[in-house]
Amino acid sequence: MAKKIRIVLTLQLPAGKATPAPPVGTALGPHGINIVEFTKSYNEKTADKAGQVIPAQITIFEDRS
C-alpha cells in the first residue's frame, strides 16, 4: 500500500549552505521532520552548485517520513 502524503513543500535554499534556522526550521519543524538530517543531506547533494539557489521539493508523508 502506498504511503499517504501529508503535505508537499517547496523551499528555495542556497546550495550547500542550508541551516536549521528559518526558513527551513519553521517550514519542517511543525511537521516533525528531522531538520538537522534534512539540512545535512541537502548540503551534501548541492555542495557542487555553490552560489546558486536550488529549489527543494519536500514530500512529507503521514508517517512523518
Q: What is the pLDDT of residues 35-52, one digit of tens each?
A: 999 999 999 999 999 999
CATH number reported for the structural domain that contains residue 12 in this entry: 3.30.1550.10
Q: What residues of the chain score a pLDDT lower than 50?
A: none
Task: Identify the residue whose cell numbers are 557542487.
Answer: 48
d(CA 51, CA 31): 29
Predicted local distance difference test score (pLDDT) of residue 47: 95
Q: Please give the residue range of the domain that contains residue 31.
A: 5-61
CA 13 distance to own-chain centroid: 9
Please tell me the total count of domains within the chain.
1
Does the predicted TM-score (pTM) go above 0.85? yes
